[in-house]
Structure 1
């Protein structure tokens, strides 16, 4: 069963397990940090050199051409924790300070190829994203918030797993924040099951101008779906609000707005969430189906060469969970390993080395 909030719909039970965590507990732990050994780093650097010597385009890197015999089994275990455990991990120690942006991009894409297939992150077909302040504002309906220095608010991306590689940090702010959507569900179930029920009904979310022929300019997927015994969330409040600019989008009722407000209040509750500083060389992986992520606003350095810069991948692991059919409206298909991303006809997937 997908997300149906009709009268016959029964709320899922309260959900236990490693994905139902609380932020203060997680902040005290460090089992989610995997520090690379010198031998593993050397293996990555050898693969970088081979890739650059062959002249392989970043977008064409595949796991067979980026051998990591020592690190690959460890990556498989980390991915298991992300998909079936706590929902996130940080791989620490990549020596980005001694790499060019191209070398960092090759390393990131190569490591990513051992985790899943890269998916397009925007209407330009970018398989490699650059998270930088481009001096834009989210008040422009064609702008996505990662292109600004604004706080993002808690949201999911349109893929199974998002990866971030930190190259440079901001002068202040720009922390990564995480919260479990499973825990939000459990808390709403205890406090206001009447409001929780509304979030299992389809809700319009703005595509922000990245619309393929035949698509509506918004998609209709419930915030929560219960499918094959798994709770899956998809959420971006600003884009839910901005979808109301379309006359044919279903309207936000006062009751649904109250439900979204409670969802946001729980996501923003320090009893549920926690923040972390991503250091240069940290590679963070986040499971979009069980977590929401956020980034605090930031003040950047005035010098262009010092400004905050992260690389991003949207990944489709072959071992990803089953998704309800309604997710095809956003993910293109629900087939693991080939789903997610923003696919527009005629756009060739590419991996720009500089932010564009």
Structure 2
């Protein structure tokens, strides 16, 4: 029996795309219509006039979008069951305050899924900015720096970004299909691909739920219920080796992850997009990996690169294997994902902290 015969089958659906084709066919890029912007702004103004606590618990009923809402449902279906990503352009964030932009984003997000905590402090709204930190600190996550992130997944079904301000240079978004990477590894080196279907320790970077180890142990690729789902962050796999009960990577594992990374970084597979202020990007973490290039920021703090982030759990999401509960807390669609540690209380920081 060949090595490939023991692996999940090659996948040939809309999620198995190649970057150059995505650049040519930009059907993933759509614009908010004037009527959609108007109803988002009207709903946002109603919420903005009330207390922050209301904005932190928005539901679709709180934030009615009779025109945009049905279109968001179709976009969500394409993200979950199709190509795995979408970009909506044209929110007038330059005319809104930071709080107003955040409320608008939270309201749009409520139509896509349940917002999940993104860190140990329970923040359901993330501020992606350079905080002057370094990923050399094992308790720092890379989005808090100006460094390149490298291709990875986040700990939720969907990650959404709203671009408020761009860097002086760099900071571009890159996407690659983890399904395409799987297919390529299966064709080229099925023996190495087998290592990515075995459990691997990944560092929690100091954000440890009750009763859990400081790392989780989930295979990079997971075949379950007819779906291939990926979970990956190479830097955190390597930093997990700092724990006494975690073995060093074997030469075969290093070779497997090196090939995986090389394929992710291959321009024949990935592609880059430049986010503009007012863009909303949605990415399915189970079938895509995303990256951000390193960037140089402006000297003026008021001009510096700034994105808002949501981790979303749609009820319509695919089933996941039980092992994902180590990271997601649950595998129940609509109730899974995010980071919950002792003392966590969900909150919305309207200012970058």
TM range (shorter): over 0.9
* Contact map agreement 2:141 2:205 (CA 8 A) in 1: yes
TM-score of the pair, normalised by structure 2: 0.98
Task: Give the whole-Å Cα distance in 2 for the aligned partners of 1:353 and 1:67.
Answer: 21
CA RMSD of aligned residues (A): 1.2
Counterpart Cα distance in 2 of 1:29 and 1:351: 36
Does residue 13 (structure 1) correspond to residue 6 (structure 2)? The answer is no
Tell me if structure 2 keeps the 8 A contact 1:204–1:250: no
**2:194 maps to 1:197:** yes
Deviation of residue 238 (structure 1)?
Answer: 0.1
5 Å matches for 1:205-224?
Answer: 205-224=202-221
Displacement after TM superposition at 1:115 (Å): 0.2
2:209·2:339 contact (CA, 8 Å) conserved in 1?
no
Q: Alpha-carbon deviation of 1:326?
A: 0.3
The equivalent of 1:230 in structure 2 is: 227
Q: In the alignment, what sits opposite 1:329?
A: 326
Question: What is the rounded CA distance, in whole Å, between the counterparts of 2:6 and 2:119 in structure 1?
Answer: 36
Deviation at 1:106, TM superposition (A): 0.2
- Which runs of no fewer than 5 residues in structure 1 stay unpaired? 1-6
Deviation at 1:29, TM superposition (A): 1.5
1:95 aligns with 2:106: no
Matched, 1:178 2:172: no
What secondary structure does 2:290 align onto?
strand
Q: Is the 8 A contact 1:223 1:235 kept in 2?
A: yes
Alpha-carbon distance change, 139 to 9 in structure 1, aligned in 2, over 3 angstroms: farther
The runs of at least 4 consecutive aligned structure 1 residues that moved more than 4 Å come to: none
- Residue ranges of structure 2 left out of the alignment (5+ in a row): none
Q: For 2:48, which of 32, 44, 52 is the aligned residue? A: 52
Query: Offset of 1:255 from its aligned partner?
Result: 0.4
3-state SS of paired residue (1:202): coil
CA distance in 2, matches of 1:345, 1:127: 16
State the match for 1:281 in structure 2.
278
2: CA distance, partners of 1:62 / 1:148: 32
Q: Tell me, yes or no, if the aligned pair for 1:203 and 1:221 is still in contact at 8 Å.
A: yes
CA distance in 1, matches of 2:162, 2:39: 18
Cα distance in 1 for residues equivalent to 2:262 and 2:285 = 19
Deviation larger for 174-183 or 54-63: 54-63
Partner of 2:30: 34
* Alignment partners' CA distance in 2, 1:250 and 1:351: 38
TM-score, scaled relative to structure 1? 0.97
Q: Counterpart of 2:18? A: 22
